[in-house]
Structure 1
């Protein structure tokens, strides 16, 4: 069982000097994301972030109590475009899920090094809870039972996360096939053309529409039953 990471908490005493006088949660969060985009998650550290911000590393803990808290804030930054969709729904429940799915996948293409944060960390901040609250409230308003809304969200979300991670791997795997491999595995060689990353947009859309078609059917045949409040 993995031990929970220790929290540093806010340092005691006066905050370290900020030579530029420009530190803020927003600045730290956006700079952290830029560093992850540039160097990757494995290379990210509070020390390197402090160097980038031209401040002492300890100064960052006055704004985020731990590295985990900062990474949660980076998740919020990544999820902002998706959250905006829930705040201004583009259509019915199914259309909303479609827009969210496309926006979520787009994060992986714009921020390939940071996207694994979304796939491996639980949504546990006020901003992500606000997104989920709006999503489920809209589903209920559309007549979707809470149980179904939760399941559809989980199914579509899992599809998008898995597809995006697979896509990231596919775009990195550009090693050419050798003649020997093509001879040993002729069926793979013939099918490889259709596995080329240039087909990923079409494949994603096909899979998404299959899922959403089932969401639409299930929503239609299982109207929500809501208790009247007094």
Structure 2
């Protein structure tokens, strides 16, 4: 395949993402991406310095598709957070193998920074302050990343859950019963249910927030 005279970052990211989607994150290498583009490995170094830069381009390609337009103020704050979290889940969930890259490169990704700014603004409008915002944002990011990994790499219908459901109930009564119930819970129900629990906790913090110290965290 003839090589384009000049490759854009979008073309490089698309080729790297194609490798990841097909071969997993472990399959990503300069050689594999060069082969995907129909060029030599040395020629690829004309465009990127190393695999780390390729990873950054992939993260931005995927997360750049996240709609960061803030939901309207007519939507309650919890609903706005749910919308933003759902958008992130949809984009990352379409390419679950990149989940580890979102952790590694989130601080350098303009897309992640835009998403985080919108979510923090929603949380601030709701009344969360200081350390509350820090914990809430990290909690939401951690939840989305963990939920996507569980959904695609360890779903409730995965062999591991099936095996746990067959554990002897006399030794593992709660675990085996929970695994059996888990097989009847869909991915969307699992995600929305977990998010609801997280947001309920934030709402309770707001309800109990009178007299919080300046950092926004209760005294212990």
Shift of 1:220: 5.0
Corresponding residue of 2:50: 66
SS class of match (2:27): coil
| TM-score in terms of structure 2 length | 0.75
| C-alpha spacing 1:63/1:225, structure 2 compared with 1 (3 Å) | farther
- Of the candidates 198, 204, 212, which is equivalent to residue 217 of structure 1? 204
| 1:93–1:138 CA contact under 8 A, matched in 2 | yes
- Of the candidates 158, 164, 170, which is equivalent to residue 142 of structure 2? 158
The unaligned stretches of length 5 or more in structure 2 are 215-220
Alpha-carbon distance between aligned partners in 2 of 1:77 and 1:220, rounded to the nearest angstrom: 39
Corresponding residue of 1:135: 119
Which structure would you say has the larger RCO, counting Cα contacts within 8 Å and 6 or more residues apart?
A: 1
Corresponding residue of 1:87: 69
Shift of 1:39: 0.7
| C-alpha spacing 1:95/1:186, structure 2 compared with 1 (3 Å) | closer
The CA RMSD over aligned residues, in Å, is 3.4
Relative to structure 2, which stretch is displaced further, 213-222 or 71-80? 213-222
